[in-house]
Structure 1
């Protein structure tokens, strides 16, 4: 059975390995981060081996016994009238305490004014998308290695156009309780559309992320280092606003080099007091900084921060992510211990 799963995963990855990012696929909401924990650490966090069931939405291999009967509800006040969020829950079943996970991710794009082809107003319309996932993780016997998978059913409605699809997430995790060192690998959104919007089949936003994390000894700090979008190496692009024109009219085109492109795959995060009831978090996303910063202005694009507070069976979390001077997002979350 395991060999068959690995073979299916390999074939899916080969077929999708040429997938690009940034507007060339459908169901883009699948890669939005709705957890304040993940958002505060720069937007990518695949090493969350903890009691937060939201972590399994990013890496199903993180499903573990600490999540048993834990419920997480998250909400994001995004740009303009866009709102999205997630709900996640995990539960153990049977004599072997099998851990199963379920989650819902949704996005509402707000209300739009409709116009016909000559500009006459018509009726208003909306757009929304949702994904329901079911996950399971398995610990390899006598080891610190875990593997897991999420099966997702996706529904999308954009004005009168609708689409239904399915996707598979596969995750791998190394979690050493003694050294407090974690390594996580997540391959997400390998799937297809079952029905298309208008007879045109589109690719799903495949994402491959690799993360490393460690809690320092005798110091209440946990660092996170994540490499995102590994399915596509060249994610840098020319920005015409950064072209330089000399006095003779010669144009020196913006051309991001190897180092610039490599850094755009990097996301950094720090957690202070990670094992206490009160935690402070901060992150930096290099790609977000490079793509959204404004020339000759200090916008602090790419920075994010947040905190969490545990009170009894409730854990409250908040994060703030900076995009530029005109845009930022706040993420709110609450985890409830239902035991």
Structure 2
């Protein structure tokens, strides 16, 4: 009964918030919150809210994926993005047995580097820096045999020269997992909240990067394969961007032009989908591949799409460590490579009797795999 009330309140809140958030990517503040938080997530297309893999980074994609099996796991990745931008992500999970609640902590930091400060005629006055960061605290509990529900609270901050903006946001998620049929279904509403501080106090607050996502994952009992599908922007049908600058010449001299056509029904539909799969080579190696249609449609050059929108990755699972790699193709300009490391802290360093008291040394079987 409590779950029904909680779910009804969640759906009502989402519907009210979504009615005010009819914007797609690129039109909201704190857009960096949409970025994938680990190589494993990147390898699966940039969004995944239903992967039951024993990887702490998914707890920040969907807070209800946090569970006992991720206790005392830490994930860290630091990578160089395009144009010299550096990105750092950290995730940590801890289960508190006394209240039967699993917690996750996440830190995201993006450094855009230094810029030259000039006036409107080019006089140089020095340098300034720009960066973004977000701190996330998530909690999750089980309900019955197959359900988990969770929520996270985020403090997001953007800094540009002497201007700053701050927001307080929340994610709310529900996950259904059946260990018998190996189906996992996740639903999450992301980035609902308020702007606490604006870059310009005189302006109205910009929209936050709200999204409503659902994901489905299926692992096969007699085949080392897991297939996944994620649907994003469920609250908005048309997320296609028809660029008015996309014109084509219809004669040799370029005098006559024709603008690009509006996206078709099928194109609008598939922009919401990310398809992925993982080949599980025993318990130690996983190979990932995914296709993000929106990424391909928006970033690929029309006559040279190549593998834009595709991403690939691999994970090596050892007793105390996990190593993850991803290669994402945004456009023909080049691919983005990422490396990440996950560690089980209670297997690396014990802290004796004190660790027993605070549950540090406890190891839980992850029956989701």
Q: Structure 1 stretch 195-204 or stretch 267-276: which is displaced more?
A: 267-276
Q: Structure 1 stretch 327-336 or stretch 52-61: which is displaced more?
A: 327-336
Instruction: Say which of 312, 330, 337 aligns to 2:337.
Output: 330
Indicate conservation of the 8 Å contact 1:166/1:194, yes or no: yes
The equivalent residue for 1:257 is 264
Distance in 2 separating the partners of 1:178 and 1:331 = 34
The equivalent residue for 2:367 is none
Instruction: Say which of 145, 149, 164 aligns to 2:151.
Output: 149
Deviation at 1:197, TM superposition (A): 1.0
Indicate conservation of the 8 Å contact 1:227/1:267, yes or no: yes
1:252–1:84 CA distance, 2 compared to 1 (3 A): closer
TM-score, normalised relative to structure 1 = 0.93
- Deviation per residue, 1:189-211 (Å, 9 max, x gap): 00111111111212210011111
**Aligned pairs for 1:31-46 within 5 A:** 31-46=34-49
Indicate conservation of the 8 Å contact 2:24/2:239, yes or no: yes
Structure 1 gap ranges (5+): none
**Aligned pairs for 1:10-89 within 5 A:** 10-11=12-13, 13-17=15-19, 18-89=21-92
Indicate conservation of the 8 Å contact 1:34/1:84, yes or no: no
Indicate conservation of the 8 Å contact 2:249/2:256, yes or no: yes
Residues 1:218 and 2:225 aligned together: no
The equivalent residue for 1:128 is 131
1:109–1:69 CA distance, 2 compared to 1 (3 A): same
The equivalent residue for 1:159 is 161
Q: Give the secondary-structure state (helix, strand or coil) at the position aligned to 1:214.
A: strand
Deviation at 1:117, TM superposition (A): 2.0
Indicate conservation of the 8 Å contact 1:42/1:268, yes or no: yes
Structure 2 gap ranges (5+): 347-369
**Aligned pairs for 1:179-198 within 5 A:** 179-198=181-200
Indicate conservation of the 8 Å contact 1:36/1:306, yes or no: yes
Distance in 2 separating the partners of 1:139 and 1:281 = 28
1:102–1:5 CA distance, 2 compared to 1 (3 A): farther
1:62–1:8 CA distance, 2 compared to 1 (3 A): closer
- Deviation per residue, 1:221-254 (Å, 9 max, x gap): 1011111122321111224565455459473642
Q: Give the secondary-structure state (helix, strand or coil) at the position aligned to 1:232.
A: coil
Please report the RMSD computed on the Cα atoms of aligned residues, expressed in angstroms. Answer: 2.1
- Deviation per residue, 1:85-128 (Å, 9 max, x gap): 21111111143442111111111111112211222122111111
The equivalent residue for 2:360 is none
**Aligned pairs for 1:274-293 within 5 A:** 276-293=283-300
Deviation at 1:217, TM superposition (A): 2.3
Indicate conservation of the 8 Å contact 1:86/1:105, yes or no: yes
TM-score, normalised relative to structure 2 = 0.86
Indicate conservation of the 8 Å contact 1:39/1:304, yes or no: yes
Deviation at 1:153, TM superposition (A): 1.2
- Give the count of matched residue pairs: 338
The equivalent residue for 1:174 is 176
